[in-house]
Chain A
């Protein structure tokens, strides 16, 4: 087969490959499995696609005040009836179950092009497993005021205890078996040398300490003081501009689980989360509730928005609704951050997950994704970084946090709620 063209790469990224039909999907998948050049191209397109989404997200209405549903029904009825009598009775039923809540979007001031994305991917790890973070150089930003972080190495102690309550094994994954091709294996150091390496790496971040480095520091400060297990440190050499692409390819290949278009539905946040809830319940999301439903036709809903403070982490207010399913989502929300969106998604075919988008300081967003592990083989296929980290994933729910900035993967690690909060606070301070 010829190389995969851009259109098919985007179809793949959009989870729409199967809509191409005629075995083309299978061809594309098979080719991606075997062609490193196309995988590289895929990563480049993924970055570009994410950037396009960011740009589009910069132009959204300040608020969406949906009028009560009943008023629309009334308007529809007031018009000359064009519907058959049978249909009209359906209309009246619609009226009875009318929905009166309003959905409000409050995007804060100064939503800038720069986005800090902290993605989290579920992959349960053994309780004592060491955790590695790979810190990659950030992308050269189009915005000259945004300092691109240099590479840095972070390591954090084991922090899997909070994930003790792993849920039942996930469904057999149909994750795209595209593997990362680590062309140049990074230096892997043992835990003993980690602080030296980190210091050296931090010194390399100059002159202004980058967001990434701060995040890394925040992570590290919050690691448990007594780290019982050695922590593998994966260090990437400081990149020359020419090698940046290659490194990014390596890093973002972690995302190569074939995404499915969002099939999530909107949830409204029912209550303000209590501190400490994130990790506790993210480890065991209930499988019912907002379960993924088949087609996108009826379920794709990118749109939960809660009113939040502007640029102030403390000003977040999460509005109330009555949907019981929401508890799951609420548990995953970092307290005191404005919630932009909560949605269930299928992160790859057969792998449901939850995506929580919150706003940090102006210009930064925090995105945490919780994904259900599909078992070791599926995870290995979906998570090429596993080859570098070398820690087996455990079936069930868990989180592996990825930090993205300008579309670049900068770190990956499971996080405790306190660590996540520290990360968030650190990023918030830096951004103001």
Chain B
């Protein structure tokens, strides 16, 4: 039997990270991760992580299809600002800008490449990724190689463009 409390502890951060890179909204990512866990607790799947990521991927897909996206407060203004110094604020803006660049790079990937990359980053094995995406296990490495290269290229191009604009 699965120890769900420890699964929760271990997979939840991965799941939020995964979802965050799909919906680009921290709070929404946490909500969806919780939703995935609620479903998992009801279904008690044998393989929790693949199940959770499959549910999360579906939830994110539904979310993207939904025409009405809930507007969230800017990450910039969330929490802890009373303690924040000017340096923190500047750092926060850097952070937001950087994240936007990563997002643009990720979104330049094909849907499948992006999915494989994010699933891998979420801790899924080649076999699990193959099962989730329908790829052959032997093709996961090739897909990851391509996705990583493009991610890096596009991100660095974004950095260069930014520098060129001054």
A residues sitting closer than 8 Å to B (CB atoms) are 5-11, 14, 16, 19-21, 24, 45, 48-49, 51-53, 55-56, 58-67, 69, 72-73, 75-76, 79, 81-83, 87, 90-91, 94, 97-99, 101, 103, 105, 107-113, 142-145, 261-262, 265-266, 296-303, 305, 310-311, 362
B39 shortest CB reach to chain A, Å: 8
15 further A-B contacts with Cβ under 8 Å, apart from A58-B102, A142-B156, A266-B10, are A6-B146, A7-B139, A14-B141, A16-B126, A55-B105, A55-B152, A59-B98, A61-B20, A61-B29, A72-B37, A75-B38, A90-B44, A105-B13, A108-B91, A299-B10
CA distance A292 to B118 in the complex (A): 24
Give min CB distance, A316 to chain B, whole Å.
15
Interface of A is mostly: loop
B141 pairs with A10, CB closer than 8 A: yes
Q: Give chain B residues whose Cβ lies under 8 Å from the Cβ of A305.
A: 13
Residues of B within 8 A of A (CB): 1, 3-14, 16-17, 20-21, 26, 29-30, 34, 37-39, 41-44, 47-49, 75, 78-79, 87-92, 94-95, 98-99, 101-103, 105-106, 117, 120-121, 123, 125-128, 137-149, 151-152, 155-156, 159-160, 163
Nearest-neighbour CB distance to chain B for A114, whole angstroms, equals 10
A152 to B135, CA, bound (A): 46
**Considering residues B12, B92, B117, B121, which has the most beta carbons from chain A within 10 angstroms of its beta carbon?**
B12
Question: In whole angstroms, what is the CA distance A135 to B149 when docked?
Answer: 27
Contact B47 A297 (CB under 8 A): yes
13 pairs of residues in contact across A and B, judged by CB atoms under 8 Å: A6-B141, A8-B141, A14-B144, A19-B137, A20-B141, A90-B44, A91-B41, A91-B44, A99-B8, A101-B9, A110-B95, A142-B156, A303-B13
Assembled-state Cα–Cα distance A111/B101 (Å) = 13
From A66, A99, A261, contact of B6 by CB (8 A): A99
Question: Are B141 and A16 neighbours in the complex by a CB distance under 8 Å?
Answer: yes
Do residues A64 and B91 form an inter-chain contact, with CB atoms below 8 A?
no
CB contacts (< 8 Å) of B88 on chain A: these are 109, 310-311
Cross-chain contact A60 with B41 (CB below 8 angstroms):
no
Contact residues in A for B148 (Cβ distance below 8 Å): 10, 48-49, 51-52
Q: Is A19 within 8 A of B102, CB to CB?
A: no
- The interface residues of chain B lying within 8 Å CB-to-CB of A297 are 47, 49, 125, 128
Q: How far is the CA of A62 from the CA of B120 in the complex (A)?
A: 21
Give CA–CA (A281, B80) in the complex, Å.
36
Please report the C-alpha to C-alpha distance between residue A56 and residue B137 in the assembled complex, in whole angstroms: 23
Query: Smallest CB–CB gap between B69 and chain A, Å?
Result: 17
Chain A residues positioned under 8 Å from B120 (CB to CB): 14
Give the residue of B9, B103, B156 whose beta carbon is less than 8 angstroms from that of A66: B9
Shortest Cβ gap from A348 to chain B (Å): 17
C-alpha gap A68/B39 in the complex (Å): 16
CB of A261 within 8 A of CB of B75, answer no
Q: Return the contact of A56 from the options B79, B95, B121 (Cβ within 8 A).
A: B121
Question: With A58-B98, A113-B159, A297-B49 given, is the CB distance from A103 to B13 under 8 Å?
Answer: yes
Could you tell me if B140 and A60 are in contact, using CB atoms closer than 8 angstroms?
Answer: no
Instruction: Please determine whether A301 and B10 come into contact, CB atoms closer than 8 angstroms.
Output: yes
- Given the interface pairs A109-B92, A297-B47, the reply to whether A11 lies near B141 with Cβ below 8 Å is yes
- From known contacts A56-B121, A109-B88, infer whether A67 and B149 are also in contact, taking CB-CB under 8 Å: no
On chain A, the residues within 8 Å of B13 by CB distance are 64, 66, 103, 105, 266, 302-303, 305
Q: Is the CB of A64 within 8 A of B30?
A: yes
Residue contact B26 to A62, C-beta cutoff 8 Å: yes
Q: Are A76 and B42 in contact (CB under 8 A)?
A: yes
Q: Which residue of B lies closest to A103 (CB)?
A: B13
Asked whether B141 lies within 8 Å of A69 as measured between CB atoms, the reply is no
Q: Is the CB of A69 within 8 A of B8?
A: yes
Query: Given A21-B137, A64-B13: A111 and B123 within 8 A (CB)?
Result: no
* Distance of A19 Cα from B76 Cα, bound (Å): 42
**How far apart sit A105 and B17, CA to CA, in the bound complex (Å)?**
10
Asked if A19 meets B91 with Cβ closer than 8 Å, knowing A91-B41, A103-B13, A302-B14, the reply is no
**Which residues of A sit under 8 angstroms from B87, Cβ to Cβ?**
109, 310-311
Q: A19-B125, A56-B151, A99-B8 are in contact. Are A109 and B142 (CB under 8 A)?
A: no
Chain A residues with Cβ below 8 Å from B94 are 109-112, 362
Which residue of chain A has the shortest Cβ distance to B164 in the bound complex?
A: A144
A53 surroundings in chain B (CB, below 8 A): 121
Query: Contact between A61 and B16 (Cβ–Cβ < 8 Å)?
Result: yes
A112: which B residues are within 8 A, CB to CB?
Answer: 94, 98
Q: What is the CA–CA distance of A180 and B165 in the complex, to the nearest angstrom?
A: 42
Given that A79-B38, A83-B42 are known contacts, is A60 also in contact with B91, CB under 8 Å in the complex? no
A20, A62, A64: the one contacting B137 at CB < 8 Å is A20
User: Complex: how many Å from CA A59 to CA B103?
Assistant: 7
Chain B nearest CB from A5 CB (Å) reads 7
